Amino acid sequence: MNWVDFGRSFLKFTSDHARHTPRLQVDALCTLRTAGGREARYALTSPCICETMYAPSDLVQRPSGVFRMIASTEEFMMLKDFAGAKADAREPRRVGEAMSTHDGKGSRVLRIEIDVAERGPGRRLEGYEEIREAILGNAPLNGRTTLREGRTEAVMDYPIRVCNVPHTQRAWQVDTGPVLMLQGAEGPGLTVARLTPGYLVYNAWDWAEGAMLCYATEGSGLPVARFSDVRRLAGRNEIFCAG
């Protein structure tokens, strides 16, 4: 596995709304491989606050909301989670189609570029001693988790931002995110709609638990974004150290 430097990996998209190009850091990657041999890599961007562009004041939109994007170079999904859930949005689109905007005019996404900084092969950690040394030595770590959902294989690559090692037993535990997870079943819609942000927790090589973002209806009757879709996932976990 090539080492991904997530701190230097970016998604850029160009739209016709403000005639500009936003650059968003990549939080995680997910490569989907289907039984027919098709392969596509998707990126989950870091979140930002929903904003009005290049104005002299009132840059943060009201109600405030968090914007994220899941995208390949061919399709994308815009996620907006607002302080008032009524305006929440989860919109899968093809490149060339418009996404909704705060002013109601819409914004046509003309192009998406995903620049993944790969820095040569990473060193796979396999034993407790190696993992303990890497954690306590503040070594940068990446994870890869490979799962299968129906006829689709999902390979998730992500930085390990949070991990744990005890002092009284030979154990370790990863608890990290956001990662980009396969949530929905294969269907006629856009593939990007099957993906969602989530968190992964594991302390073994052959299974993990995932907490995935979903929109649950609560007492107000409105769908609210919560990491409430918790599942045990059979698959393969790998941990890599740079260099």
Largest CA distance in the chain: 59
Answer whether 0.95 is exceeded by the pTM.
Answer: no
Q: What is the pLDDT of residue 209?
A: 97
pLDDT band, residue 184 (cuts 50/70/90): confident
pLDDT band, residue 18 (cuts 50/70/90): low
> Across the chain, what does the average pLDDT equal?
90
HSE-up of residue 10 (Cα within 13 Å, Cβ side): 7
Task: Identify each DSSP E strand in 173-219 by its residue range.
Answer: 173-182, 195-202, 207-217
Q: Are strands 23-34 and 65-71 parallel, antiparallel or unpaired?
A: unpaired
Q: What is the pLDDT of residue 188?
A: 73
Q: What is the pLDDT of residue 214?
A: 83
Residues 6+ apart with CB under 8 A from 169: none
Residue 104 has pLDDT above 90, yes or no: no
Average pLDDT score over residue span 184-192 = 81
pLDDT tens digits, 30-52: 999 987 778 999 999 999 998 88
Torsional sign, CA 62, 224, 86, 108:
positive
Cα distance between residue 170 and residue 203, in whole Å: 11
pLDDT band, residue 216 (cuts 50/70/90): low
Q: Are residues 170 and 164 in contact, defined by beta-carbon separation less than 8 angstroms?
A: no
pLDDT tens digits, 61-93: 888 889 999 999 999 999 988 766 566 778 899
Three-state SS at 86? helix
Cα distance between residue 114 and residue 58, in whole Å: 30
Cα distance between residue 68 and residue 156, in whole Å: 18
- DSSP state letter for 186: P
Average pLDDT score over residue span 145-152 = 91
Inter-CA distances, 110 with 74, 96, 203, 231, Å: 10, 5, 42, 36
Nearest to 185 by CA among 195, 176, 199, 200: 195
**Domain residue spans of the chain:** 2-115, 119-241
